[in-house]
């Protein structure tokens, strides 16, 4: 693998794409044990990052305020809730 971007700097799509590549690479069985362990550790971090991003999106969706016609008008402050995910 080339120079790795810190997991926290990846958006959901980038993290998921990298995780999928790691899974395929590990399933191939064509990498040495030490590299497999490193890839697995990176994969675990990517999985956790993706789960946190999904939870963040879910919270945002749940907090959308709508008007009487059902149109979104604003989102409420969720920073405190997001901080609990860390």
pLDDT tens readout for residues 24-38: 999 999 999 999 999
In DSSP terms, which residues pair with 64 in a beta bridge?
75
Residue 72's H or E segment, with its range, is: strand 72-75
pTM as predicted = 0.73
SS3 content of the chain, % helix, strand, coil (to 5): 65, 10, 30
The domain locations on the chain are 7-83
Q: Any idea which fold 7-83 has?
A: Helix Hairpins (1.10.287)
Above 60 in pLDDT, residue 79?
A: no
Give Cβ neighbours of residue 7 (< 8 Å, ≥ 6 apart).
Answer: 15, 42, 45, 46, 49
Q: What is the pLDDT of residues 41-71, one digit of tens each?
A: 999 999 999 999 999 998 888 777 777 787 7
């Amino acid at each position: 693998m080339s120079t790795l971007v810190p997991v926290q700097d990846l958006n959901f799509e980038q993290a998921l794409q990298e995780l999928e590549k790691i899974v395929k690479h590990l399933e191939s069985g064509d990498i040495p044990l030490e590299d497999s362990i490193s890839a697995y550790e990176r994969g675990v971090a990517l999985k956790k990052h993706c789960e946190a991003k999904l939870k963040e999106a879910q919270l945002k969706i749940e907090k959308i305020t709508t008007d009487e016609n059902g149109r979104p008008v604003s989102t409420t402050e969720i920073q405190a809730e997001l901080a609990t995910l860390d």
